[in-house]
Amino acid sequence: MAEFTFELNDDQRHVRDWLHGFAADVIRPAAAEWDEREETPWPVIQEAAKVGVYSLDFYAQQYFDPTGLSIPMVMEELFWGDAGIALSIVGTGLAAVGVLANGTEEQIGTWIPQMYGDADDVKVAAFCSSEPDAGSDVAAMRTRAVHDEAKDEWVLNGTKTWATNGGIANVHVVVAVVDPEAGSKGHASFIVPPATPGLSQGQKFKKHGIRASHTAEVVLEDVRVPGHCLLGGKEKLDERLARAREARAGAGAAGAAAGGERVKNAAMATFEASRPAVGAMAVGTARAAYEVALDYAKTRRQFGRPIIDNQGVAFQLVDMRTRIDAARLLVWRASWMAATGKPFTAAEGSMSKLYASETAKEVTARAVQILGGNGFTREYPVERMHRDSAIYTIFEGTSEIQRLVIARTLSGMPIR
């Protein structure tokens, strides 16, 4: 088992420096343009694919790093470059994690390569969970998947929303209800292959921030997918549903407690695996804003001296840097725990996402304040960073939901 350490090894430092160079030379110069265009930055994704930043091999190497630190390191550097473009580059990863968390080895080997394509034919993927009436409340999900036993096909109907790459993806991973009476435990994930009839893009959202990332509704109308597109397979699903029904009836509650086995929800399994990574994204944005504010404070002169000579400014920068470092440590701890199989006994994954996301909002707001009127204009990047940071306390579990998860974990009580 890898020991926890604050020191990156030589390979990790090499990758970090390489990514930092890509973020500085390729992502940052394009950030303002694609934020204004509010379009997927295909040329930047293509460049990322050419150099190996956007590829299955690269992310597999980082994902299977035994220390768990490579993925948060990657996220921090890319989002230091720009959050919108970075999300366009890594957004496919959420769908890939959905397959890794719930799929069989054969499904992983079949579908994840198709999510990325290759340097000559770049593809993206989408993870579709949220719905117009089911965001944080996943139990309210209405998208249905019905098994056609005669054809061994699943028929999907419903509308998904807030889907990164929704409608433009080569592969969609869709979470749907297979047993309405089982609540959130009656959900399953499905692969919708490329060009499947019945899947279409609905509304494309015009967003406050991360505007270079495509976010849209996905409409499913009698979408038929083969039986092998059920992640994990029918046998595994039937076993899960049987346990859920027994627990609901009260007959199997004692057995479930004795076995210590929790019935896993398909969407939650994906979010649990990705929360520290989202925290790392927030750290990257916060760090970028802090660095701009620090440089500005050292060069901007008022009353005959740099504004950093004033305690009111200097102390703000101290607090910003302290919060960033604390957030990174929480993210690294959670990532290391996940990679080494240590349980989140105190909801450490949610802790990392909660603190890092709120740090990004706080730090970027202070950066705007330090730059004053300049910080309020699009001539300086902190305005965009401040807009981008708002998403971190919302997607993949709001701050309120993170607090609920942490409170329930610490207390053992069904806090509402």
Choice among 47, 272, 358, 396 that is catalytic:
396
Among 18, 105, 134, 27, smallest CA distance to 388 is for 27
The number of angstroms, rounded, from the C-alpha of 44 to the middle of its chain's C-alpha atoms is 20
CA distance 405 to 84: 28
396 is catalytic: yes
**CA 157, 162, 168, 170 torsion: positive or negative?**
negative
Query: Residue-wise pLDDT tens for the chain (416 aa)?
Result: 677 787 999 999 999 999 999 999 999 999 999 999 999 999 999 999 999 999 999 999 999 999 999 999 999 999 999 999 999 999 999 999 999 989 999 999 999 999 999 999 999 999 999 999 887 777 789 999 999 999 999 999 999 999 999 999 999 999 999 999 888 789 999 999 999 999 999 999 999 999 999 999 999 999 999 999 999 999 999 998 998 888 877 744 444 433 333 445 555 555 666 799 999 999 999 999 999 999 999 999 999 999 999 999 999 999 999 999 999 999 999 999 999 999 999 999 999 999 999 999 999 999 999 999 999 999 999 999 999 999 999 998 999 999 999 999 999 999 99
Taking phi over 0 as left and psi of -120 to 50 as alpha, with beta for the rest, 317 belongs to: alpha
Predicted pLDDT at 265 = 57
Tokens 């998403």: give the residue: 391
Q: What are phi and psi of 328, to 5 degrees?
A: -60, -40
Q: Decide if 344 contacts 337 (C-beta within 8 A).
A: yes
Return the structure tokens found at 340: 């080494």
Predicted pLDDT at 266 = 54
Q: Decide if 238 contacts 183 (C-beta within 8 A).
A: no
